[in-house]
Structure 1
Amino acid sequence: MKIIILGAGRIGESVAGTLVSERNEITVIDTDAGRLRELEDRFELRGVLGSGIEPEVLAEAGARDADMLIACAALDETNLVCCKMAHLQFGIPTRIARVRSSAFRGDSPLLGKDGFAVDRVICPEESLTRYIAKLVEYPEALQVREFAGGLACLVAVRAVSGAPLVRHSIAELRERVPDADMRIVAIYRRLLDQPDRFIMCEGATRIEPGDEVFVLSAREHLQSVLSALHRYEDNGRREVTRIMIAGGGRVGLRMARQLVDGERRVQLKILERNPERCVALAADLPGDVLVLRGDGTDEDLLEDEGIEEIDLFLALTNDDEDNIMASLLAKRMGARRVLALINRRSYADLMHGTQIDIALSPAQTMLGELLAHVRQGDVQVVHSLRRGVAEALEIVARGDRKTSRVVGRCIDEISLPKGAQFGLIMRGLPAPDAPVDAHPGPAPQVIIPRGNTVIESNDHVVIFIPRKRQVREVEKLFRVSATFF
């Protein structure tokens, strides 16, 4: 695909790097010549200097035959105007805009063809807070990703010695956890002074303590899945009730609002070093949220505020180094779990496997939303995993046995790339364009596929892919062809 990216900031850089690696033709527009040179040196792409709201600049970037525009400049208004220009003057088929304002959400008429002509709005901050909220709901997990609107989930969890499945083989899964239907699709094993190693998931594969295990299941079985790989204290599962946020900026405030508005009651403290921002936070949030002027790297402050009693410490400032240091300090002082917001990918890679439980990149949390538009075939959901190395796809099987390589065939008959696995089949989901008042059919099913499971037309199939270069093979496998017999 020919894709134009407006904005060479951190989001634009992450998006460009991912799309270039998939052999797309990428052009980046920005007003910072030095930044463009850096990207051209790092990636195989073309940079165009100028403003994305000027027709001449868009034309120079190849807008006349571009397939997609991704507008992720710093200002909402720049991205919106660029999408309108791309639609009116150049007819670019797909237009995606990064927009922070809550006025441009969902089915807002301002986004339609008569408005700013935006096909999809993305907001990294919203994706980020939604992601963290899942970790509050399921504190045992490293990440929780949803498919089919939450009907099924992919969960990553660190295996703990003494848990029911740990030190047992995958073949023993049903015997050890009979009350939960699940599929283990990947294991990443920590090695001393080496990168984590991907372990093929076969019947004889044993789960070892410290393994990062990726499991797919129906949502109602999610807690049983986590319990199978996690060992609880004598008093049972501990909920997340005490949360401390370091950083009261845009992300910190959005996270605080989401926690306050949620069904779960939490005790929330926010640390913010800017006194004026502290006043604004205190005015914006309910009175039971404690806003403190201070720094997450202040050891005395953390001790005074009972860091050892905190269930989840969130370092959400705009400074990667501060977030890393605050998280490491909070963990050393007794915080149960810590999460650091890290924009630089190299930093996030360095922090993996350290005392920081979760190193989170804003760009990585929303990449899947973009990739679903880039993928070929009927891809509904894409989740970028392991810092972009692996992916989980929800793809719809179309056609029949004559026109499809998968429909009407048993799982055993279908050859996936090495290491890739069928995870789930979701059957009976309504079509996206079905009328809201349409007569409901049978309730959707979540099926754990076995060797003799037959894929039917319109099944939503979740596939785990350990290496991004294998994605095209999977897409080709699901492509409907009039000449395939």
Structure 2
Amino acid sequence: MNVIVAGAGRLGTQIAQVLAAARNEVTLIDVDDDRVAELQGRIPVRLVAGDACEPALLEDAGALTADLVVATTGDDEDNLVISLLAKRQFSVSRVAARINDADNAWLFDERWGVDVAVPSATPLISLIEEATGATDTVALLRLSKAGVDVIETAITPQSSAAGRALGEVRLPEGTVVATIIREGRPTVPDPATRLRPGDELLLVSHTATEREIHAAFQ
């Protein structure tokens, strides 16, 4: 699946990483050059600096062949414009948009090209499930076409993995850590990284269950 995510804040970056880990082709756009430069080489997606409200930039980012566009900027007006362009100009089959201000929720419908409107408080699991149309959810997300599960676990002060290096944690076979979200920011996992309470981990596995992942870290 070809995916464009507009907005490289925490939510947009998490969505991009999860979908990329599930073997989708993902392009992440952000208007902030510094944010794009910060993410270069740290996440397995194509990064584009620029305003996703500009049709030319969306086209350069691959909108003509995109299966899904997710607008996750912090500005509702931008998210609506991106959605409308994706649907009307580029005929993207599925468009999801984040609602930042609940008072604007009534605008996020088919008139603006929005197939899936997601309030900002919606958990990541629900946003990705609704945006992709995936209904077979195991733990965080299952994308049946990719044949992998993306499972989320959090490190608490009571977790057995707290204070240990990631490389010291014995993972189930066929499982890798896709990203560690620390203090709201995704980081590239490294075997030497010491896990801290508050860390959120996204793991990709072909075989492991949520229970097995929980046992490894908790």
Partner of 1:75: 75
- Is the counterpart of residue 112 in structure 1 residue 100 in structure 2? no
**1:64–1:90 Cα contact (<8 Å) kept:** yes
The SS at the match of 1:103 is helix
**2:17–2:45 Cα contact (<8 Å) kept:** no
Question: Could you tell me how far apart the structure 2 residues matched to 1:191 and 1:49 are?
Answer: 36
**Structure having the higher Rg:** 1
Deviations 1:361-396 (A, max 9, x none): xxxxxxxxxxxxxxxxxxxxxxxxx621268xxxxx
Deviations 1:126-179 (A, max 9, x none): 549xxxxxxxxxxxxxxxx89xxxxxxxxx9x9x9xxxxxxxxxxxxxxxxxxx
Partner of 2:6: 6
- Deviation at 1:32? 2.1
Q: Flag the 1:191–1:40 CA change in 2: closer, same or farther, 3 A.
A: closer
- Deviation at 1:116? 1.5
Partner of 1:387: 201
Q: Flag the 1:65–1:465 CA change in 2: closer, same or farther, 3 A.
A: farther
Question: Could you tell me how far apart the structure 1 residues matched to 2:43 and 2:163 are?
Answer: 31
Question: Could you tell me how far apart the structure 2 residues matched to 1:112 and 1:390 are?
Answer: 33
Deviations 1:441-464 (A, max 9, x none): xxxxxxxxxxxxxxxxxxxxxxx4
TM-score (norm 1): 0.30
Question: Could you tell me how far apart the structure 2 residues matched to 1:123 and 1:92 are?
Answer: 21
**2:68–2:95 Cα contact (<8 Å) kept:** yes
- Deviation at 1:26? 1.2
The SS at the match of 1:96 is strand
- Deviation at 1:13? 2.1
- Deviation at 1:93? 1.0
TM-score (norm 2): 0.63
Partner of 2:144: none
- Unmatched 5+ residue regions in structure 2? 125-138, 141-153, 174-181, 188-193, 214-218
The SS at the match of 1:74 is coil
How much is the aligned-residue C-alpha RMSD, in angstroms?
Answer: 3.6
Which of 117, 122, 125 is the aligned partner of 1:121? 117
**1:64–1:92 Cα contact (<8 Å) kept:** yes
1:24-423 equivalent positions in 2, closer than 5 A: 24-105=24-105, 108=106, 110-113=107-110, 115-127=111-123, 189-190=160-161, 193-195=164-166, 196-197=169-170, 342-345=183-186, 350-352=195-197, 359=198, 387-389=201-203, 418-420=207-209
Deviations 1:179-213 (A, max 9, x none): xxxxxxxxx8548745454589xxxxxxxxxxxxx
Question: Could you tell me how far apart the structure 2 residues matched to 1:191 and 1:83 are?
Answer: 41
Partner of 1:320: none
Q: Flag the 1:57–1:350 CA change in 2: closer, same or farther, 3 A.
A: same
Query: How many pairs does the alignment contain?
Result: 170
Q: Flag the 1:32–1:389 CA change in 2: closer, same or farther, 3 A.
A: same
Kindly indicate whether structure 1 or structure 2 has the higher relative contact order, using CA contacts under 8 Å at least 6 residues apart. 2
Deviations 1:199-255 (A, max 9, x none): 89xxxxxxxxxxxxxxxxxxxxxxxxxxxxxxxxxxxxxxxxxxxxxxxxxxxxxxx
**1:191–1:197 Cα contact (<8 Å) kept:** no
Q: Flag the 1:465–1:57 CA change in 2: closer, same or farther, 3 A.
A: farther
Question: Could you tell me how far apart the structure 2 residues matched to 1:78 and 1:12 are?
Answer: 14
Question: Could you tell me how far apart the structure 1 residues matched to 2:39 and 2:48 are?
Answer: 11
Question: Could you tell me how far apart the structure 1 residues matched to 2:18 and 2:98 are?
Answer: 17
Question: Could you tell me how far apart the structure 1 residues matched to 2:30 and 2:49 are?
Answer: 5
**1:6–1:29 Cα contact (<8 Å) kept:** yes
Question: Could you tell me how far apart the structure 2 residues matched to 1:43 and 1:190 are?
Answer: 24
Question: Could you tell me how far apart the structure 1 residues matched to 2:24 and 2:7 are?
Answer: 17
Q: Which amino acid aligns with 1:71?
A: A
